[in-house]
Chains A and B, each alone.
Chain A
Amino acid sequence: MSEHEHNPFPDEGNTGHIWDDNLRELANPAPNWWMMAFYASIAFVIGYGLIYPMIPLSDSYTKGLTGWTAIGEYKASTAEVEAVRKPFEDKIAKMSAKEILADPELSAYVEASGKVIFGDNCAACHGAGGSGNPGFPVLADDDWLYGGTIEQIQTTITNGRQGMMPKMGGQQLTDAEIDKLANAIYNGTVTKEPLYTSKGCMGCHGPDGKGMAALGSANLTDGIWRFSESDQLASIKHTIKHGVNDASDPETRKPKMPAFKDKLSEQDIKKMAVYVYKFGGGK
């Protein structure tokens, strides 16, 4: 590995680094296309640095000629979405939920844009698409505890609901009576059961057994159950025995629909009322 003082291969452009007699390092230039691409990439970096923020400084950074920022781009694109929504939102603000429902264009808009609000606030309990869960009513059917008109739905969302049914077990009804009553409810023949009238069930659930929207009492005749999906009969017995939201019974049912007036804007509540109504059960 000695450097030759005299180069035995002069005109071939080697580096002069020759060893083992004839092995030598050539100084071939990089291909032209490669060099061009190399310089082009340097030009690109310089151009990029001029246009966009690039170099961090001690307490700032180079801003670039365009003043572009990621957050700026994000804000611009959300503003773009807001601009598309604005004409609809403006109209909705001036209308009642019922009027929105009557307008096919606006109700289609609510159906599309309300999905996010419903998903964030309602779907955890009521299921996506209002399919319901045990203890949390199905929103897609036409069986409503507090009424299914658009105004009633809006009131329910705004103020929340907490229905009450006193426990009937113990002093009021014997287990045998509960059994009888539950079977009648389960078979849809509750109004023919003498206990229904004599024990005062009728007072809240109505002479026809279909419940009263003003009280939030359940319809006992339509085969739609809210507290259980599997053993309906046992579930009915449990509800009669322990009541609903009866503080004196630790085993009582404890359904509660929270008020959304503090969580959602009036505008959003209006939209949710329309959205829920359009699941297919609105009246």
Chain B
Amino acid sequence: MAEKNIQEQTIEELYAEANEHKINVGDVKIHAKRMKGKFRSIKWLTNSIWLILFFGPYLRWNGHQAVLLDIPNRQFHIFNITLLPQDLWMLSFVLLFFAILLAVVTALAGRVWCGFFCFQTVWTDVFTWIEDKIEGGPAKRRKLDKAPWDVKKITMRAKKYLLWLLISVFTGISFVAWFTDSFQLWKDLFTLQASSTVWITILMFTVGTFYLAGFLREQTCFWLCPYARIQAVMIDDTSIVPSYDVPRGEKRGRLVKGKPVSEDQGDCVDCNQCVAVCPTGVDIRGGQQEGCIMCGLCLDACDAVMDKIGKPKGLIKYASWDGIRGKEEKPLFKRPRVWLYTTIMTIALAGIIYGLSGMESIELKVIHARQPLFVLQSDGTIQNRYTLKVLNKLPADMDVKVSVKEHDLKGLIISGADKPVKAHHGTVTPVTIFVRVPKKNLTEQSVPLTFVVDGKDESGQVYHSERESVFIGPKR
């Protein structure tokens, strides 16, 4: 009998715990309260960075679009830099840099990206701001959700959806504008001349924005976004994140007029304001958790309440779990993760700088024919065939002269290089070159040979590029 009692007790405990442990699966719509405060202001500031998405494409530079990611022509123009597929390796360093930047910021200060910069957070924030302006605060909105579809509700909803839709459409168009001439894009859209790719991309972005920011909201962060979970595991006890000061706050209790506060009662007055303002519906007092995007809005809410009841601010504050528990905090430079991340970021940055500084306006690549490697000619010379690829990144075509650098090959004759070659701009021009060396002058099977291209543009600026290859003869 005793055994059965224990069993029952365990099961009851499990059920009780299951009741306690709430997971937001979107069954209850989160209507967050909006409050003024420090983090609210910071949020607007960081939100506004995304204005670049909307206005960036119209920036001009030297008569062309400042940033144009021209995928059909395989060229990226970023101010006066032109990137061709040959420069793609730099992108891997850029990605590495930002991946590690995300890691280091997350390790030090939590999900800063999620809380302040992520497009999902930002668009949702703007969408709920519109919702708040049109339909009123959380209580009114909850009531409206349940209300029948009368004229008032329909007008409100129509207004809201229209504004959302407008933002969504502009998001789509602005996105596309980075990949094609932005002014031409608008012309094409108004004259219905835009390509189906453009229409489909805009449509997808419109639907995506409308649905993700309007309806899915925090559910995206909970259940769709991999970064949310990845970042969550990057946080440790030393990361400075929005935290509830447990020793100070507990034991929480309501303030009741005329009733004295008991001895063991903490500073938390259980007003639930921190939950009310949370865009993901988290109770920060339960500790750091997967749903928390670390936007700091609960800090604003709690500070406002603390102000009102005459207690010091910072019951919810940016602090590490070590700090909250009163453990000694390791200084930055003593954390191996900081060193590791800094090293990787430095390497990535060095790679980008090396790539950008080494970018020549003309670039030579030499491909030695593989089949046959060499050919015996009837005059007793060995002939090698090369394909020279001249990449010209200048805005105009340029005539270049091909030659070979000083070498050890006696009697070398180069053919196919007598006339200058027109190197077309923005692309690679292939040139076939034959080199002949008398067989008797060859001392080794493979001899290094460096090819050179020289050119001059209209203003007289000189360009030069060289590339080492080999001259191959028969086995010795």
CB closest chain-B residue, reference A131: B372
B432 touching A278, Cβ below 8 Å: yes
A141 touching B378, Cβ below 8 Å: yes
A223 touching B380, Cβ below 8 Å: yes
A140 touching B383, Cβ below 8 Å: yes
A22 touching B11, Cβ below 8 Å: yes
Q: How many residues of B contact A (CB 8 A)?
A: 27
Instruction: Point out the residues of chain B lying under 8 angstroms from A29, CB to CB.
Output: 27
CB closest chain-B residue, reference A23: B11
Instruction: Point out the residues of chain A lying under 8 angstroms from B12, CB to CB.
Output: 22
Q: Which of A22, A32, A130, A280 contacts B219 (CB 8 A)?
A: A32
B371: CB under 8 A from chain A? yes
- Given the known A-B contacts A29-B27, A31-B27, A33-B216, are A143 and B377 also in contact in the complex, defined by CB atoms under 8 Å? yes
A224 touching B378, Cβ below 8 Å: yes
B25: CB under 8 A from chain A? yes
Q: Which of B27, B215, B370 contacts A129 (CB 8 A)?
A: B370
A142: CB under 8 A from chain B? yes
CB closest chain-B residue, reference A32: B26
B376: CB under 8 A from chain A? yes
B378 touching A143, Cβ below 8 Å: yes
A219: CB under 8 A from chain B? yes
Which residues 94-129 in A have Cβ within 8 Å of B in the complex? Answer: 108, 111, 127-129
- Given the known A-B contacts A31-B223, A36-B216, are A138 and B375 also in contact in the complex, defined by CB atoms under 8 Å? yes
A163: CB under 8 A from chain B? no
A128 touching B371, Cβ below 8 Å: yes
Instruction: Point out the residues of chain B lying under 8 angstroms from A143, CB to CB.
Output: 377-378
CB closest chain-B residue, reference A35: B26
A216: CB under 8 A from chain B? no
Interface majority SS (helix, strand, loop, mixed), chain B: mixed
CB closest chain-A residue, reference B15: A22
Instruction: Point out the residues of chain A lying under 8 angstroms from B377, CB to CB.
Output: 141-143, 281
A280 touching B371, Cβ below 8 Å: no
Q: Which of A21, A108, A281 contacts B375 (CB 8 A)?
A: A281
Instruction: Point out the residues of chain B lying under 8 angstroms from A130, CB to CB.
Output: 372
A222: CB under 8 A from chain B? yes
Q: Min CB distance, A277 to chain B, in Å?
A: 12
- Given the known A-B contacts A29-B27, A32-B26, A33-B219, are A131 and B385 also in contact in the complex, defined by CB atoms under 8 Å? no
Per the bound structure, the CA–CA distance linking A238 and B371 in Å amounts to 29
Which residues 253-283 in A have Cβ within 8 Å of B in the complex? Answer: 278-281
Interface size class of A (residues with CB under 8 A): 20 to 34
Instruction: Point out the residues of chain A lying under 8 angstroms from B216, CB to CB.
Output: 33, 36
Using an 8 Å CB-CB cutoff, how does the interface string of B14-47 with A read, 1 for contact, 0 for none? 0000000000011100000000000000000000
B233: CB under 8 A from chain A? no
Per the bound structure, the CA–CA distance linking A22 and B14 in Å amounts to 12
Per the bound structure, the CA–CA distance linking A142 and B372 in Å amounts to 14
CB closest chain-B residue, reference A143: B378
B162: CB under 8 A from chain A? no
A-B pairs with beta carbons under 8 Å apart, 11 shown = A21-B8, A22-B12, A33-B25, A128-B371, A129-B369, A131-B375, A138-B372, A143-B378, A222-B378, A224-B378, A279-B385
Query: Using a CB–CB distance below 8 Å, which chain A residues touch chain B?
Result: 21-23, 29, 31-34, 36, 108, 111, 127-132, 138, 140-143, 219, 222-224, 278-281
Query: Using a CB–CB distance below 8 Å, which chain B residues touch chain A?
Result: 8, 11-12, 25-27, 215-216, 219, 222-224, 369-372, 375-380, 383, 385, 430, 432, 434
Given contacts A33-B222, A223-B380, 9 further A-B contacts (CB under 8 A): A21-B8, A22-B11, A31-B27, A32-B27, A36-B26, A138-B375, A140-B372, A143-B377, A279-B385
The 8 closest A-B pairs by CB, nearest first: A32-B26, A31-B25, A131-B372, A222-B378, A129-B371, A143-B378, A140-B375, A33-B219
